């Protein structure tokens, strides 16, 4: 096989391509073959070319699965191999002459971002997409949790501020629609910018409304 393409789908997370040199992979993007395998599974294929070009496209929609979570790609070859780093690949470290294990921290692209590298491969090549490093994994979780907590804190602060203002404007007496007013102001200022976090929060608020229309919980 001189030219092979693999496509990995895991909730639409990652797309992988291996090309022979000189191929305009952007124009000839339509792959001859697309395999749908779970992320983390190994896919083996023979590659007889002298130079392989590797491209990873991030297609995911989940913030944890894509935008802030780098993936490691493990290459295992059965013959001695040399390689050259290009483009955005920042570090590659073979563990032995017969077994390469590359780490590409730069593969933490945003949705739709493309990152590429080139390597020389003789003989067959086994490609595997493995789970991200634990440190990066927990860092991404912490970052998303912190962002969500700050978003919620902003909502609560604006809501309470509006409630205080409305209450004082009415001589210290709370009116029926004060909470409605405070919630609308807070919702507008905090959740108006569409992002994964605010969309999730809006969905959660919509679920509150669902619970209201389904007090018996029959839908759940």
Query: What residue ranges bind another protein (CB under 8 A)?
Result: 7, 12, 15, 26, 29-31, 34, 57, 59, 61, 111-112, 114, 152, 155-156, 159-160, 176-177, 179-188, 190-192, 194, 198-199, 202-212, 215, 217, 219-220
Q: Which two tokens stand for residue 133?
A: 């490093």
Contact 126, 44 (CB under 8 A): yes
Q: Looking at residue 45, what DSSP letter applies?
A: E
What is the smallest separation between the CB atom of 180 and another protein, expressed in angstroms? 4
Contact 119, 75 (CB under 8 A): yes
What is the smallest separation between the CB atom of 12 and another protein, expressed in angstroms? 7
What is the smallest separation between the CB atom of 116 and another protein, expressed in angstroms? 12
Distance CA 54, CA 114 (A): 10
Distance CA 18, CA 127 (A): 10
Question: Which is closer to another protein, CB of 97 or CB of 157?
Answer: 157
Reported as half-sphere exposure (CB side, CA atoms, 13 A), residue 113 has a value of 13
Distance CA 205, CA 194 (A): 14
Question: Which is closer to another protein, CB of 169 or CB of 206?
Answer: 206
Distance CA 66, CA 107 (A): 10
Question: Which is closer to another protein, CB of 131 or CB of 160?
Answer: 160
Question: Which is closer to another protein, CB of 101 or CB of 147?
Answer: 147
What is the smallest separation between the CB atom of 120 and another protein, expressed in angstroms? 26
What is the smallest separation between the CB atom of 76 and another protein, expressed in angstroms? 25
Question: Which is closer to another protein, CB of 139 or CB of 154?
Answer: 154
């Amino acid at each position: 096989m001189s030219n092979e393409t693999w496509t990995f789908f895991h909730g639409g997370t990652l797309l992988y391509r291996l090309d022979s040199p000189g191929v305009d992979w952007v124009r000839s993007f339509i792959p001859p073959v697309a395999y749908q395998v779970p992320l983390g599974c190994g896919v083996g294929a023979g590659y007889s070319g002298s130079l392989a070009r590797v491209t990873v496209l991030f297609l995911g929609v989940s913030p944890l699965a894509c935008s802030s979570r780098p993936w490691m790609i493990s290459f295992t070859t059965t013959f001695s191999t040399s390689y050259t780093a290009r483009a955005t690949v920042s570090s590659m470290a073979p563990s032995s002459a017969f077994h390469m294990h590359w780490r590409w921290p730069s593969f933490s692209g945003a949705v739709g971002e493309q990152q590429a590298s080139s390597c020389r491969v003789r003989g067959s090549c086994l490609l595997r997409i493995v789970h991200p490093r634990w440190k990066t994994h927990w860092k991404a979780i912490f970052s998303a949790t912190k962002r969500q907590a700050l978003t919620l804190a902003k909502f609560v602060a604006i809501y309470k501020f509006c409630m205080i203002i409305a209450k004082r404007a009415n001589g210290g007496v709370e009116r029926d629609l004060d909470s409605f007013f405070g919630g609308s102001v807070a919702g507008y200022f905090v959740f108006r910018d569409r992002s994964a976090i605010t969309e999730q929060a809006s969905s959660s608020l919509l679920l509150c409304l669902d619970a209201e229309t389904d007090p018996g919980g029959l839908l759940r």
